[in-house]
Amino acid sequence: MKDVKDLSPLEAAAELADLAKKIAAADNAYYQNDAPDLTDAEYDALKHRNTAIEAMFPDLVRADSPSKRVGAAVQSKFNKIEHRFPMLSLGDVFSIAEVEDFVLGVKRFLNMAEDIDFMAEPKIDGLSFAARYEKGTFVSGATRGDGIVGEDITENLKTLKQLPLLLPAGVPEVLEVRGEVYMAKRDFLALNERNAAEKKKLFANPRNAAAGSLRQLNPKITAERKLSLWAYTWGEVSERQWNTQEEFFAKLKEWGFPVNPLNKVCHSLKEIEDNFKHITEIRAELPYDIDGVVYKVNSLDLQNRLGFLTRTPRWAIAHKFPAEQALTRINDIRIQVGRTGALTPVADLEPVNVGGVLVSHATLHNEDEIKRKDIRVGDMVVVQRAGDVIPQVVEVKFDKRPADSVPFEFPVICPECGAHAIREEDEAIRRCTGGLTCPAQAKERIKHFVSKEAFDIVGLGDKVVEAFYDDGIIKHPADIFTLEKRNGGAGDDLFSFGDEGLHLERRAGWGKLSVDNLFKAINARRTISLPRFIYALGISQVGSATALLLAQNYGTFDALQAEMSARETAKLVAIDGIGGEMGNDIVEFFNEQHNISEINKLREYVNVEEFVDERRTDSELSGKTVVFTGTLEKMTRLEAKALAQKCGAKVAGSVSAHTDYVIVGADAGSKAKKAAELGIKILTEAEFMEMAKK
């Protein structure tokens, strides 16, 4: 090979083109199959050569140069597509009684006594997609991803014969059709047979096979797999030409989309129940897997009035089939120690197939649950799983209990660190008192910190976190952000690796490429949104919804921390959705020295963004605290509350000096009186609606 300085510009350009191609091909092989076709050294040599030539001939740097591609790869193998409207999920229920509650809740919200029409649709067990059409032409396709950002599967979707690429005249200029891609049972079996014959990987179920086939970097593979689809909803639409879900289905059919013939409008709860029975009966004979029935309020006017909860619409619900059960033996009962020190008993089971999934563990919840059900090692038990929930032990078969069985004794010391495990009065859970000196707690906290809804650092999976913790590489979340610095050369006070560096690339299972990708993934998170940061801290009881509430109410991390460390809780406890106990946990968290030093250390490396509230701020109501009283006429109380919140107002239950407006309906009582006494502005329902419109 010629020395770089001896290359002519023409030769350099040709070689850069060649390198771009080779490196792209290597990336592809690596990311697509998790099986690189070059060694790390060969790959590095190509990248080096590319860099050297580019340094010598900066004018020749290509638009598709490998040096320009930073970070994309490890986070996702696909380009990302941000959904113009989030792809939401649905609330789950498992019984007709709960469906009834849902229907009644809808009616109550709308203040309607008469029956409402629901569209009942089989819930397809596949993977949802969004297909975007502009001027009737298919332009892009995406997976659901996390609901906000999905993966670009445009080319893959094009290979699905059932997806129309051109729509007839008259369709909305912008139209995003959403639905489910699935693999028919027969096609799934055939694919697995073929894979078995070729000694290739087998898929566990049709859903996995569909996902594995659609999410292929090489669309040719997608094309070889038999995938089908049903369309059932929409995303962005420039002009909506339908007023009910039923009319939408008619349009979809007209435009050439497959629409499930089992979709059916139900006019009453009785019809909903009959339909569910019917679908349950024919389920096994259907050529594809379904896992329940979805109910959607048919009228879009009513849907709009109902609106959304945080992640799910208020106008739809999924009625899942009952859990599937199987009989097996408990081989052992282990105690897991969680992030907050909770000791959770887990049953190790003789592996058993429950509805197509191999189950080898079940949660036993807590000490009392084991006592109540008298669950023992060696017992034969009925286990069940439903949806994505962790399998559970439903009952013990006492007649099959071995003669020498003994009751299970719950440990009172932490099996991980030996500290006392104590159980507060009124608490169901026993906790290890070891805090962060308990390796199990420390590890779980790091796992939580890097998890999807927190820092979402791809490449730091559970196994990696455990190994890095055990080897002293990451003991605290903040250590993640010094990894790169510690890897190469100079050590750091915390870890005396001297000039040696960690050299993660020398660890088994790692190489230069994967280490670089890990660093890229970490570096991409040095700026983080406020809700993610709060959630990542792992404050007891603070899930992602609460983290969002805190972000919305405090705006910046500094503001939150200042009030919490000063134990100023007036604002905190006034937040709808944060109860006294949770508030307590939050304040205590910010008053523990080790948490503060961890936060301080983290913030040396991480920039926490200010929270930009997407709720309206331009409304006269935004930032105001309002109280409703009396009977409203144009809308129900729930609707009024949702409308006020949408305008950025906080809805309180009682009138106080903090109240800005009291909205009075008919027969308003003491609250209106109190408002008058306190000199708080009183609005009629009409005035409130007028204000909300602006």
Nearest partner of 541 among 592, 506, 587, 575, judged by Cα: 587
Region of 66-74, 83-91, 420-428, 562-570 interacting with ligand IVH (CB under 6 A) = 83-91
**Cβ distance to ligand IVH smaller for residue 271 or 505:** 271
Q: What values do phi and psi take at 685, rounded to 5?
A: -60, -45
**Cβ distance to ligand IVH smaller for residue 210 or 547:** 210
One-letter amino acid of 330:
I
User: Least separation, in Å, of the C-beta of 291 and ligand IVH?
Assistant: 8
How far apart, in whole angstroms, are the C-alpha atoms of residue 424 and residue 587?
A: 19
How far apart, in whole angstroms, are the C-alpha atoms of residue 22 and residue 18?
A: 6
Looking at 316, 337, 522, 578, which residue binds ligand IVH (CB under 6 A)? 316
User: Least separation, in Å, of the C-beta of 173 and ligand IVH?
Assistant: 23
Region of 20-28, 86-94, 192-200, 506-514 interacting with ligand IVH (CB under 6 A) = 86-94
Tell me if 142 contacts ligand IVH by CB under 6 A. Answer: no
Contact status, residue 46 vs residue 22, Cβ threshold 8 Å: yes
Burial of residue 140, with CB atoms counted within 10 A of its CB: 0-12 exposed, 13-18 middle, 19 or more buried: middle
3-state secondary structure 22-83: HHHHHHHHHHHHCCCCCCHHHHHHHHHHHHHHHHHCHHHCCCCCHHHCCCHHHHCCCCEEEC
**Cβ distance to ligand IVH smaller for residue 264 or 525:** 264
Tell me if 279 contacts ligand IVH by CB under 6 A. Answer: no
Tell me if 268 contacts ligand IVH by CB under 6 A. Answer: no
Tell me if 180 contacts ligand IVH by CB under 6 A. Answer: yes
Looking at 8, 33, 89, 310, which residue binds ligand IVH (CB under 6 A)? 89
**Cβ distance to ligand IVH smaller for residue 232 or 468:** 232
How far apart, in whole angstroms, are the C-alpha atoms of residue 438 and residue 418?
A: 8
Looking at 233, 298, 366, 629, which residue binds ligand IVH (CB under 6 A)? 233
Active-site hit among 2, 47, 123, 694: 123
Strand duo 607-608 + 527-528: pairing: parallel
Region of 123-131, 190-198, 427-435, 466-474 interacting with ligand IVH (CB under 6 A) = 123-131
Contact status, residue 234 vs residue 175, Cβ threshold 8 Å: yes
User: Least separation, in Å, of the C-beta of 185 and ligand IVH?
Assistant: 16
Region of 119-127, 214-222, 476-484, 507-515 interacting with ligand IVH (CB under 6 A) = 119-127
What are 164's two structure tokens? Answer: 């129309």
User: Least separation, in Å, of the C-beta of 177 and ligand IVH?
Assistant: 12
User: Least separation, in Å, of the C-beta of 144 and ligand IVH?
Assistant: 6
Burial of residue 467, with CB atoms counted within 10 A of its CB: 0-12 exposed, 13-18 middle, 19 or more buried: middle
One-letter amino acid of 388:
D
**Cβ distance to ligand IVH smaller for residue 182 or 449:** 182
Looking at 313, 415, 435, 555, which residue binds ligand IVH (CB under 6 A)? 313
How far apart, in whole angstroms, are the C-alpha atoms of residue 599 and residue 622?
A: 31
**Cβ distance to ligand IVH smaller for residue 38 or 211:** 211
**Cβ distance to ligand IVH smaller for residue 279 or 414:** 279
Region of 61-69, 121-129, 380-388, 656-664 interacting with ligand IVH (CB under 6 A) = 121-129
Tell me if 286 contacts ligand IVH by CB under 6 A. Answer: no
Tell me if 93 contacts ligand IVH by CB under 6 A. Answer: no
DSSP conformation letters of 653-684: SS--TT--EEEE-BT--HHHHHHHHHT-EEEE
Tell me if 245 contacts ligand IVH by CB under 6 A. Answer: no
Region of 53-61, 116-124, 500-508, 556-564 interacting with ligand IVH (CB under 6 A) = 116-124
Tell me if 318 contacts ligand IVH by CB under 6 A. Answer: yes
* 47: annotated active-site residue: no
Q: Which residues contact 680 (CB under 8 A, 6 or more apart)?
A: 655, 659, 660, 661, 662
Strand duo 650-652 + 607-608: pairing: unpaired
Tell me if 259 contacts ligand IVH by CB under 6 A. Answer: no
Burial of residue 693, with CB atoms counted within 10 A of its CB: 0-12 exposed, 13-18 middle, 19 or more buried: exposed
Looking at 90, 181, 502, 528, which residue binds ligand IVH (CB under 6 A)? 90
Query: Phi-psi region for residue 541, left (φ > 0), alpha (ψ -120 to 50) or beta?
Result: left
Looking at 121, 187, 416, 516, which residue binds ligand IVH (CB under 6 A)? 121
Q: Which residues contact 228 (CB under 8 A, 6 or more apart)?
A: 160, 162, 181, 182, 183, 184, 187, 258, 288
User: Least separation, in Å, of the C-beta of 87 and ligand IVH?
Assistant: 7
**Cβ distance to ligand IVH smaller for residue 232 or 554:** 232
β partners of residue 113: none
Looking at 30, 99, 128, 478, which residue binds ligand IVH (CB under 6 A)? 128
User: Least separation, in Å, of the C-beta of 89 and ligand IVH?
Assistant: 4
**Cβ distance to ligand IVH smaller for residue 110 or 432:** 110
CA 560 to chain centre: 25
Nearest partner of 411 among 459, 357, 366, 361, judged by Cα: 366
Number of chain residues interacting with ligand IVH (CB under 6 A): 15
Region of 20-28, 196-204, 208-216, 311-319 interacting with ligand IVH (CB under 6 A) = 311-319
Looking at 99, 294, 521, 547, which residue binds ligand IVH (CB under 6 A)? 294
Region of 117-125, 187-195, 330-338, 398-406 interacting with ligand IVH (CB under 6 A) = 117-125
Using CA atoms, how far residue 129 sits from 141, 149, 178, in Å, is: 7, 12, 6
User: Least separation, in Å, of the C-beta of 243 and ligand IVH?
Assistant: 18
Provide the 10 A C-beta neighbour count for residue 359. 20
Burial of residue 629, with CB atoms counted within 10 A of its CB: 0-12 exposed, 13-18 middle, 19 or more buried: buried
User: Least separation, in Å, of the C-beta of 129 and ligand IVH?
Assistant: 9
Q: Residues interacting with ligand IVH, by CB under 6 A?
A: 88-90, 121, 123-124, 128, 144, 180, 232-233, 294, 313, 316, 318
Supply the residues annotated as catalytic. Answer: 123
